């Protein structure tokens, strides 16, 4: 079996950790000769948190795909470059990549990648607080995915819609969209999207005060994400498990789980998730009376939110910081 075929099989099985580890066993010249191999290895590295190692491989894959005239692979690599930029906190660069992807996919008549671009542009709009634009982007993605019958894409889009409605404070609508995401993810055998949607449903249960049910759902999601070696997904599940513990009064356990979430995230940049974990840590530390710890956590979260242009979240953090005695600092 060729190295490329082996990499294809690992990617198809979503064995991202094995795919990422494959990089160190392959001669660099072999990777250079195959744009698809470079793309697959970069994708495996990104999905396991090695964003900066993924970037040069993705750039090489994009250049090689362009030179060879492989339009489909070019769309895949452009989407990957956008994801790498986003997860590294380089939101403007991510926006440029996804905008170019939408334009190029539309020209090529590729509904799948036009939908992916719309989905990702929607995520960026939601982060910036541009909810109407985000919802419009998701509706475009849904229409494209429905035309081609791509159930995994439908699962991803309903998950994103759930996030938007959650952020708007519409818990029932958010839960309904997460439920539809789970149904489509199950149908398409997309365990990663299934786990992400389960995590968000658990978060809604915790916010409603049902810590025990939230813990059960989030624990199931965490087990899935750990099997897939997804550090960001696992870190978020642990963050939600902390919220579940706090909902049932187990504050010490909640703080322990938030610290575990940061450790699980490790060197993965993911500024949005890092901000959410630190925001939750700040609120818990404030509740426990550790004002210095709360200030430090809130300020770390604020820096991350500002870095990605999440102005609404940044303003909310500034308000929280103004309510507690913190050392003087520019906010």
pLDDT (tens digit, 9 = 90+) per residue, 103-160? Answer: 999 999 999 999 999 999 999 999 999 999 999 999 999 999 999 999 999 999 999 9
> Is 66 among the domain residues?
no
| C-alpha–C-alpha distance, residues 183 and 180, integer Å | 5
Residue 88: per-residue pLDDT: 87
> Is 233 among the domain residues?
yes
| C-alpha–C-alpha distance, residues 132 and 79, integer Å | 23
> Is 173 among the domain residues?
no
Using one digit for the tens of pLDDT, what is the confidence trace for 203-224? 999 999 999 999 999 999 999 9
Residue 267: per-residue pLDDT: 81
Residue 327: per-residue pLDDT: 78
Q: For residue 211, which of 255, 239, 245, 240 has the smallest C-alpha distance?
A: 245
Please report, to the nearest 10 degrees, the dihedral formed by the alpha carbons of residues 243, 261, 167, 311 taken in order.
130
Which structural domain range is residue 256 located in?
Answer: 190-262
| C-alpha–C-alpha distance, residues 75 and 137, integer Å | 18
Q: Which residues of the chain have pLDDT under 50?
A: 330-331
How far from 47 is each of 225, 269, 286, 290, 300, CA to CA, in Å?
A: 11, 12, 34, 35, 24
Strands (E), the chain: none
CB 155 within 8 A of CB 144: no
How far from 20 is each of 41, 79, 196, CA to CA, in Å?
A: 6, 18, 21
Start-to-end CA distance of the chain, whole Å, equals 57
Q: In degrees rounded to 5, what are phi and psi of residue 100?
A: -65, -40
Residue 1: per-residue pLDDT: 80
Q: For residue 9, which of 34, 46, 30, 40 has the smallest C-alpha distance?
A: 40
Report how many domains make up the chain.
2
Model pTM score? 0.90
Q: In degrees rounded to 5, what are phi and psi of residue 322?
A: -70, -15
Q: Which token pair is 205?
A: 């249960």
| C-alpha–C-alpha distance, residues 114 and 131, integer Å | 20
| C-alpha–C-alpha distance, residues 166 and 17, integer Å | 31
> Is 182 among the domain residues?
no
What CATH number is associated with residue 248?
1.25.40.10
Residue 23: per-residue pLDDT: 92
Same domain, 285 and 330: yes
Q: Which token pair is 224?
A: 């899935």
Same domain, 197 and 233: yes
Domain boundary among 262, 286, 307: 262
| C-alpha–C-alpha distance, residues 114 and 103, integer Å | 8
> Is 321 among the domain residues?
yes
Integer Rg of the chain from CA: 20
CB 205 within 8 A of CB 221: no
Residue 269: per-residue pLDDT: 82
Q: Which token pair is 67?
A: 């030179």
> Is 113 among the domain residues?
no
> Is 228 among the domain residues?
yes
Same domain, 249 and 201: yes
| C-alpha–C-alpha distance, residues 79 and 54, integer Å | 13
Q: For residue 89, which of 251, 275, 233, 261 has the smallest C-alpha distance?
A: 275
Domain boundary among 231, 262, 293: 262
> Is 93 among the domain residues?
no
Residue 246: per-residue pLDDT: 96
Domain boundary among 262, 284, 314: 262
| C-alpha–C-alpha distance, residues 248 and 33, integer Å | 56
């Amino acid at each position: 079996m060729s190295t490329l075929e082996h990499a294809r099989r690992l990617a198809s099985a979503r064995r991202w950790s094995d795919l990422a580890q494959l990089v160190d066993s392959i001669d660099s010249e072999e990777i250079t000769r195959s744009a698809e191999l470079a793309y697959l290895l970069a994708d495996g590295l990104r999905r396991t948190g090695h964003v900066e190692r993924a970037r040069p491989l993705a750039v090489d894959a994009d250049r090689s795909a362009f030179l060879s005239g492989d339009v489909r692979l070019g769309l895949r690599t452009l989407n990957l470059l956008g994801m790498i930029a986003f997860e590294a906190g380089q939101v403007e660069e991510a926006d440029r990549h996804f905008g170019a992807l939408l334009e190029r996919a539309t020209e090529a008549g590729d509904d799948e990648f036009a939908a992916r671009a719309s989905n990702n542009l929607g995520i960026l709009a939601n982060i910036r607080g541009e909810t109407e634009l985000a919802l419009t982007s998701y509706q475009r993605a849904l229409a494209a995915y429905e035309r081609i019958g791509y159930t995994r894409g439908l699962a991803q889009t309903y998950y994103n819609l759930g996030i938007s409605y959650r952020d708007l404070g519409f818990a029932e609508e958010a839960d309904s969209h997460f439920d539809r995401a789970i149904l489509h993810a199950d149908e398409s055998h997309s365990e990663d999207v299934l786990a992400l949607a389960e995590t968000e449903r658990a978060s809604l249960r915790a916010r409603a005060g049902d810590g025990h049910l939230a813990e059960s759902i989030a624990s199931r999601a965490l087990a899935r994400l750990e099997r897939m070696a997804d550090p960001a997904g696992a870190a978020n599940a642990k963050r939600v498990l902390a919220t579940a513990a706090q909902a049932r009064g187990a504050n010490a356990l909640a703080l322990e789980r938030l610290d575990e979430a940061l450790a699980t995230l490790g060197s993965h940049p993911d500024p949005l998730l890092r901000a959410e974990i630190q925001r939750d840590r700040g609120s818990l530390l404030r509740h426990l009376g550790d004002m210095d710890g709360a200030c430090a956590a809130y300020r770390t979260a604020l820096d991350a939110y500002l870095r990605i242009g999440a102005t609404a979240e940044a303003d909310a953090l500034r308000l929280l910081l103004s309510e507690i005695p913190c050392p003087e600092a520019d906010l």
